[in-house]
């Protein structure tokens, strides 16, 4: 069976957050003008993903979570997060939640983070540890998983 990759999780949870907001607009908790701050997170998350993707391409290492990496990148967004792409996607989902403002619109962000923590990050960190040993352990001790 083929594994569902993080971008598919992201788009699914994004769609569900918006759909659930309109189907079950349970309790508005964020109101204008604060809701517009959601756009800041959406733009920042998008920029973070683009920046991170460019670094993967520059160093010719895999972005796929089920493949062994060929390079340990520890600068740029990787200097403050071991998972900047997931952080960017989570920021977008939280931004959408803030923009929509209902409790249920935040469910996508919560489920996305849980899915990454359960299904992807443990295997990725195992691959990194196998590929880079002590170098990865030093990096892991220096940089937090999310932020």
The token duo for 29 is 């908790």
pTM for the model stands at: 0.96
Domain count, the chain: 1
Whether 147 is covered by a domain: the verdict is: no
The pair of structure tokens assigned to 136 is 């990865």
DSSP characters over 34-90: GGGHHHHHHHHHHHHHHHHHHHHHHTT----TTS--S----SGGGGT-S-HHHHHHH
Domain carrying residue 92 = 6-142
What distance lies between CA 31 and its chain's CA centroid? 25
Q: What is the pLDDT of residues 96-127, one digit of tens each?
A: 999 999 999 999 999 999 999 999 999 999 99
| Pair of tokens at residue 91 | 């920021």
> What pLDDT is attached to residue 1?
55
Q: What are the residues facing 28 on neighbouring strands? A: 102
20: domain CATH number?
1.20.120.1630
Residue 111 lies in a domain: yes
Is 27's pLDDT higher than 90? yes
Residue 121, domain member (yes or no): yes
Asked, for residue 115, whether it belongs to a domain, the answer is yes
Q: What is the pLDDT of residues 59-98, one digit of tens each?
A: 999 999 888 899 999 999 999 999 999 999 999 999 999 9
């Amino acid at each position: 069976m083929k594994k569902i990759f993080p971008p598919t999780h992201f788009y699914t949870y994004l769609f569900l957050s918006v759909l659930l907001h309109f189907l079950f607009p349970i309790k508005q908790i964020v109101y204008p003008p604060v809701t517009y701050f959601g756009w800041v997170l959406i733009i920042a998350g998008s920029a973070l993903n683009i920046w991170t993707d460019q670094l993967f391409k520059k160093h010719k290492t895999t972005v796929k979570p089920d493949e062994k990496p060929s390079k340990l990148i520890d600068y740029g967004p990787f200097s403050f997060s071991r998972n900047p792409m997931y952080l960017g996607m989570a920021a977008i989902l939280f931004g959408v939640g803030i923009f929509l403002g209902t409790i249920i619109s935040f469910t996508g962000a919560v489920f996305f983070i849980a899915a990454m923590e359960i299904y992807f990050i443990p295997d990725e960190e195992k691959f990194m540890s196998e590929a880079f040993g002590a170098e990865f352990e030093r990096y892991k001790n220096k940089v937090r998983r999310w932020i």
